[in-house]
Amino acid sequence: MAESVDLWINGTPIRVCAGTSVAAAVLLSGEPVFRRSVSGEKRGPLCGMGICFECRLNIDGVEHCRSCQIVCREGMQVRTE
């Protein structure tokens, strides 16, 4: 469990335990808002299992990644939308 991973969330470095999902890392960084809805509402994760797409964000330049289904990797660049 001691192994850790360093990544970037909105330009800020964060260290998490290996195996942490990107969604958990974003919440851990203190940010509950993952994206803006089509009418501009603030949204965060709902289902936690890849169904609802509310936790989607930009990972390493790729838009609309479901952050709850992706495990943090070293040096990952994560941006909330």
Residues near other proteins (CB under 8 A): 16-17, 19-21, 23-25, 27-28, 32-34, 37-39, 41-54, 56, 64, 68-71
Sign of CA dihedral 38, 39, 42, 47: negative
Q: How far is the CB of 31 from other proteins (least distance, A)?
A: 9
Q: Least distance to other proteins from the beta carbon of 78, Å?
A: 14
| Pick from 6, 30, 34: nearest CA to 18 | 6
Residue 54: how many other CB atoms lie within 10 Å: 18
Read off φ and ψ for residue 25, nearest 5 degrees: -65, -40
Closest to other proteins by CB, 52 or 79: 52
Taking the complex as a whole, the smallest distance from the CB of residue 8 to other proteins amounts, in Å, to: 17
